Amino acid sequence: TGLKKHFPVKNGLLRRVVGQVKAVDGVDFTINRGETFGLVGESGCGKSTTGRTVLRLEEPTGGEVVYHHEELGPVNIGTADRQQLKRLRPEMQIIFQDPFSSLDARMTVGRIIAEPMVINRTHHGRELRDRVAELLTVVGLRPEHASRYPHAFSGGQRQRIGIARALALNPKLIVCDEPVSALDVSVQAQVLNLLESLQAQFDLTYLFVSHDLSVVEHIADRVAVMYLGKVVEVGTTDQLFYSPKMPYTEALLSALPKPDPRKRTRPTLLTGDVPSPANPPHGCHFHPRCKYAQDRCRTEVPQLRDLGGGQLAACHLADSLELKGAEPLPDVP
Ligand code: SF4
Ligand code: MG
């Protein structure tokens, strides 16, 4: 609720603070238990920072993250005490984008996966080895892989190792930060399918951060679109992809590949670069790139508002525009 994360901008030579980057600037959303909640937007929109702030890997500048713990009830992560955090932390894990840099090259795969259990003292000796073997099997690797080092594995296998480590403490919520973006397209589907089957098997909830709309369409139940530190649209995946209410969502969707090349239309090109989050445009942040922009868009900030059916959008014209969604994919027989 109202989540903010601002970073100081320092002057190079004097290291004086000369401004603020509002990476996350008042973000509201709810993730329901058991769902995959997609968070999409162009790079630099604040989606990864949002994911990290939800886990309190970054201290929020403002707003709050409330986690509903089965026994403790709702806990504000920003003000939780040490005892509470000790119980919450294992339940909230992260899978990183780059499986090549996120695993310590000097540690065996077994140690990498065992580490969270060693730190939290949940397993020892024989039990720990058995648990590592079990986790390797769960992610589609083999127990004997425990004695090898990360360099012996492909990108997809390394991401499986990262997933095994994230599962070690029986988490409930996993932030997946671009988990397949560094992988070959052929491997992406395998890792996405693995994430889906693990979700069903272990009753997991995912916050799935990605710039890739095709991936999000495949995996997410609901989606939030971010632009320059703000959520500009939220809805079910179908609402968002097939009846978007915010011009920025429409523009993102227009870049998706078309199922039927004969019906290919000219994409609503996203002209111009993303403005700097240190100095965002007045009014609607999207107005310099929006083909529907009117005078009020340049001065009045549109609020995220409920349009019915669980869909929310931050656009002055959300009720009147007829925006174009993605083309439905053909049914695979
Ligand atoms: Fe475009 Fe105006 Fe809507 Fe912003 S508020 S998306 S500028 S129409
Ligand atoms: Mg990122």
What pLDDT score was predicted for residue 11?
78
Show the domains of the chain with their CATH numbers. 3-220 (3.40.50.300), 226-313 (no CATH)
Quick one: DSSP state of residue 320?
A: T
- Mean pLDDT, to the nearest integer, of 151-165? 96
- Average pLDDT score over the chain: 92
- Mean pLDDT, to the nearest integer, of 243-270? 78
Q: Which of the four pLDDT bands, split at 50, 70 and 90, describes residue 264?
A: low
In whole angstroms, give the CA distance from residue 46 to residue 172.
23
191-250-271 Cα angle (round to 5):
100
Of all protein residues, whose CA lies closest to atom 5 belonging to ligand 1?
315
In whole angstroms, give the CA distance from residue 64 to residue 155.
35
Considering Cα of 77, then 119, then 155, then 34, what sign does the dihedral take?
negative
Give the tens place of pLDDT for each residue, 183-195. 998 899 999 999 9
If we measure between CA atoms, which residue out of 138, 101, 94 comes closest to residue 116? 94
The atom of ligand 1 lying closest to the CA of 247 is: 6
Instruction: List Cα–Cα distances, 156 to 101, 174, 175, 216, in angstroms.
Output: 13, 18, 18, 18
In whole angstroms, give the CA distance from residue 92 to residue 87.
10
- In the predicted model, is pLDDT for residue 267 greater than 60? no
For ligand 1, which residues put their CB under 6 angstroms from it? Answer: 246-247, 284, 286-287, 290, 292-293, 297, 302, 315-317
What pLDDT score was predicted for residue 260?
65
Of all protein residues, whose CA lies closest to atom 3 belonging to ligand 1?
315
The atom of ligand 1 lying closest to the CA of 246 is: 6
Give the tens place of pLDDT for each residue, 216-227. 999 999 999 999
Give the tens place of pLDDT for each residue, 19-55. 889 999 999 999 999 999 999 999 889 999 999 999 9
Between residues 168 and 274, which one has the greater pLDDT? 168
What pLDDT score was predicted for residue 257?
75
Q: 39 pairs with which residues across the strands? A: 209, 224
Give the tens place of pLDDT for each residue, 199-219. 999 999 999 999 999 999 999
Return phi, psi of residue 234, to 5°.
Answer: -135, 140
CA of 182 to the centre of ligand 2 (A): 12
User: Which residues are within 8 A (CB) of 319 and not within 5 positions of it... i.e. 6 or more apart?
Assistant: 307
If we measure between CA atoms, which residue out of 47, 62, 59, 75 comes closest to residue 175? 47
Find how far residue 118's CA is from the centre of its chain.
28
- In the predicted model, is pLDDT for residue 82 greater than 80? yes
What pLDDT score was predicted for residue 194?
97
What pLDDT score was predicted for residue 218?
93
- In the predicted model, is pLDDT for residue 182 greater than 60? yes
Return phi, psi of residue 232, to 5°.
Answer: -105, -15
DSSP string, 131-153: HHHHHHHHTT--GGGGGS-GGGS
What pLDDT score was predicted for residue 268?
59
If we measure between CA atoms, which residue out of 42, 40, 175, 152 comes closest to residue 100? 152
The tokens of 147 are what? 């004695």
191-216 burial, b for 16+ CB within 10 Å, e for fewer?
bbebbeebbeeeebbbbbbbbebebb
In whole angstroms, give the CA distance from residue 130 to residue 262.
55
The atom of ligand 1 lying closest to the CA of 291 is: 1
Ligand nearest to the CA of 244: 1
Q: Are 102 and 162 in contact (CB under 8 A)?
A: yes
Give the tens place of pLDDT for each residue, 116-140. 999 999 999 999 999 999 999 999 9
Q: Are 117 and 168 in contact (CB under 8 A)?
A: yes
Between residues 89 and 12, which one has the greater pLDDT? 89
If we measure between CA atoms, which residue out of 208, 285, 266 comes closest to residue 45? 285
- In the predicted model, is pLDDT for residue 18 greater than 90? no
